[in-house]
Chains A and B, each alone.
Chain A
Amino acid sequence: EVQLVESGGGLVQPGGSLRLSCVASGFTFSDFWMSWVRQAPGEGLEWVATIKQDGNEKYYVDSVKGLFTISRDNAENSLSLHMNSLRAEDTAVYYCAREVRDGSGFDIWGQGTMVTVSS
């Protein structure tokens, strides 16, 4: 079964750090671009970051540039998001998602992990 499973969410104080992980199974992880997408409570979807198959290209939404780092370990079939200097506005469910091969869209999503930034 093709699957993505996130972990690492939780409650963190403003200014704190957190590392999210996503483990892939059921497909050749190294063949796909991978992304993080978040959704604040009651709000819509927001793309956060994307990484190319070999990890040599990374892209971020402006609001997290310099604060968040996306990375991957193809040997471990894992995707990570290191989040530093967290702010209240980073509170959201964070999803990892697989990009459609040679197409536009995210075809596989994890169940999401909740990050709450609050004192």
Chain B
Amino acid sequence: EIVLTQSPATLSLSPGERATLSCRASQSISIYLAWYQQKPGQAPRLLIYDAFKRATGIPARFSGSGSGTDFTLTISSLEPEDFAVYYCQQRSNWPPWTFGQGTKVELK
């Protein structure tokens, strides 16, 4: 089973700042990685799939990069609505499909 490790667990930032979230896989997953945003009481929302492809309707301030074992989600300039929990998920070596434990982006 591929384990995804996200860091940091919590990121404390202010609106307008740049957020850099990391996801590391326990073995190579090529580019088969997705990123999600989840707000309290809501379902997750797909932001990025195949490591760098933005999902429909996702603003350009969200970008994904990486391949193999190391991946990054970057939010170029935080908007108030971006404070949430972010998860990565792999679909390379399946089953199982696995998720990271999440990174919370909180208001500083």
Contacts and interface: CB of A to CB of B under 8 A. Distances in A.
Interface of A: 35, 37, 44-47, 50, 59-62, 95, 99-100, 103-107, 109-112
A44 B87 contact: yes
B89 A107 contact: no
Interface stretch (B14-22, B38-46, B75-83): B38-46
A106 B46 contact: yes
A44 B95 contact: no
Contact of B99 (A46, A50, A99, A110): A46
A99 B53 CA distance: 15
Contacts, number: 74
Given A105-B55, A107-B49, A109-B45, A61 B102 contact: no
Contacts of A61: 95-96
B105 interface: no
B36 to A, nearest CB: 8
Contact of A35 (B34, B50, B97): B97
B87 to A, nearest CB: 6
Nearest to B91: A104
Nearest to B100: A44
A47 B99 contact: yes
A61 B94 CA distance: 10
A110 B43 CA distance: 7
A100 B49 contact: yes
Contacts of A37: 44
B98 interface: yes
Q: Which of A59, A104, A106 has the most CB of B within 10 A?
A: A104
Contact of B50 (A46, A50, A60, A104): A104
The 5 A-B residue pairs whose C-beta atoms are closest, nearest first, are A105-B34, A105-B49, A104-B91, A109-B43, A59-B95
